[in-house]
Amino acid sequence: MRTYALLLAAAALVACGDSEPVSDQAAQQPAAPPSWVGNVGRVANAIERTPAAADSILAANNMTRMALDSLLYVIAADPALTAAYEAQRTK
């Protein structure tokens, strides 16, 4: 029981010690765009190369046309997501 309590206290101390620098870093760095934005960019690149194979490209990426449409709307409405998408598109 004592060991368990000591472990808990140690974990709490570590958490307290780490929390400040991490929050500072988070405040300084802009939030990274979600990974799905990059995936949508890659899918768009592939579709642009072979538009006739759009359906098979979408299927290979577990995506439907409706899902792609919805994601494109989400990206277009947000400047940060748009920047991440365009960065992937130019690769």
Structure-derived torsion over alpha carbons of residues 26, 28, 34, 40, reported in degrees to the nearest 10: -170
- Please tell me whether residue 70 binds another protein under the rule CB under 8 A: yes
With binding defined as CB under 8 A, does residue 33 bind another protein? Answer: no
Number of residues that bind another protein (CB under 8 A): 23
Least gap, CB of 18 to another protein (angstroms): 35
DSSP H helical ranges for the chain: 2-28, 35-49, 54-60, 65-77, 79-89
Residue 76 Cβ vs another protein, minimum distance, rounded to whole Å: 4
Q: Is 18 in the site for another protein (CB under 8 A)?
A: no
Dihedral in degrees, nearest 10, Cα atoms 80, 86, 89, 91? -90
Binding interface with another protein (CB under 8 A)? 44, 47-48, 51-52, 54, 65, 68-70, 72-73, 75-79, 81-83, 85-86, 89
